[in-house]
Amino acid sequence: MAQRRLRMGMIGGGPGAFIGPVHRLAAEMDREIELVAGAFSSDPARASAAGEAYRIDPARAYPSLDAMFAAERARADGIDFISIVSPNHHHLPAARAALAAGVAVMSDKPLTGTLAEAHELAGLVRDAALPFGVSYTYSGYPLVREARARVLAGALGAVRKVVVEYPQGWLAGEAVGKQAEWRVDPARAGLGGCIGDIGVHAFHLAEFISGLAVTELFADLGSVVPGRVLDDDCSILLRFENGARGVLLASQIEVGELNGLRIRIYGERGGLVWRQETPNTLVQHSLDGRSEIINAGGMLIGADAAARTRTPPGHPEGYLEAFANLYRDFAALLRGEPAPLLPGIDAGVRGMTFIATAVAASRDHTGWVKL
């Protein structure tokens, strides 16, 4: 497996999908991985149409998980791993089938529909001892990794405060269209709405960059749009293991906000500010009044982040490249190399724990709760 392109099968990602094509593109960007098969849809016609759109061998566009694993196992050039890009309630069954077939898994987030499913999956992953990744996309950005490296190297001193926000506005009106509909439906999205779709990204980012675990939270989740069952607006206060204070805001009803994930982290001696929509600059503040603009791919970047840009500074890279960085890590794992920054099953369970804890705490008005 060392040098050849790794072979990926996709679960979900049929016609009209958003995240499936993104996974395909990201996985293949560095030519380490190739999409060769898929169970894109349980509807055979749609499965077949997707196979054609992805330009794969029609014979490998399967109508079901079982068909895929059976047929791929029989091939000399069968898939090395699957990417799970279907709605949340499908994550566990797909991962279970893959692991049973001895196939590694890269899963979209959140890990599963419920926390119980997450724990079940963690057991399966542990038993299977196969590579497992979760696509907390934003942790793939070079400057997010640079921020983490700087914080862990002590550039800010002890961390005191983290503010992470993820504002969106696309669900401020009625949820119309395939992407919107399943996200507001508890049967498909699971127990979280906004918190599961984007809040969990913000949560992962806060722990990822700070290098600190959240130990307590106070959650105030709301369903703002009339008739909405799941949360669409979340305000969550945090405490980190070292006593640092935090705030996590996520919303889908802030009209005009696109995908405004941003994080600010402050320590005794400095601060770091990063925004996903302008991801190629990071600002570092110091207690002595100095504020620096750090450019992705620039001269001031550490080795790990530098290795995660593909062009010189000033050539903007974005969401797809960040996503591709996770797949590059995952490919390394598959080849037996270390990929310590790739979110794995623990980060997946952690996200589900966060979602479940916050949803319950908000619903039951239990105030501050342990995480």
CB of 211 to a second copy, least distance (A): 18
The residue among 64 and 360 lying less far from a second copy, judged by its C-beta, is 360
Q: What residues contact 369, with CB distance under 8 A and at least 6 apart?
A: 216, 217, 218, 219, 357, 360, 361
The residue among 77 and 292 lying less far from a second copy, judged by its C-beta, is 292
Q: Report DSSP letters for 311-338, one per residue.
A: S-TTS---HHHHHHHHHHHHHHHHTT--
CB of 244 to a second copy, least distance (A): 9
CB of 124 to a second copy, least distance (A): 31
In one letter, which amino acid is 68? M
The residue among 135 and 251 lying less far from a second copy, judged by its C-beta, is 251
Do 302 and 288 contact (CB within 8 A), yes or no? no
Do 236 and 217 contact (CB within 8 A), yes or no? yes
R_g over Cα of the chain:
20
The residue among 76 and 187 lying less far from a second copy, judged by its C-beta, is 76
CB of 367 to a second copy, least distance (A): 5
**Tally of CA atoms within 13 A in the half-sphere of 117 that contains its CB:** 21
Q: Which helix (H) or strand (E) holds 133?
A: strand 132-134
262 phi-psi bin (left φ>0, alpha ψ -120 to 50, beta other): beta
Peptide bond into 110 cis (omega under 30): yes
CB of 256 to a second copy, least distance (A): 2
The residue among 290 and 338 lying less far from a second copy, judged by its C-beta, is 290
The residue among 46 and 310 lying less far from a second copy, judged by its C-beta, is 310
* Tokens standing for residue 58: 């029609």
CB of 334 to a second copy, least distance (A): 14
First to last CA, the chain: 40
The residue among 41 and 280 lying less far from a second copy, judged by its C-beta, is 280
CB of 112 to a second copy, least distance (A): 24
Annotate 20-63 with three-state secondary structure.
HHHHHHHHHCCCCEEEEEEECCCCHHHHHHHHHHCCCCHHHECC
CA distances from residue 333 to 1, 16, 330 in whole angstroms, order as listed: 11, 31, 5
The residue among 211 and 222 lying less far from a second copy, judged by its C-beta, is 222
Do 139 and 341 contact (CB within 8 A), yes or no? yes
CB of 114 to a second copy, least distance (A): 26
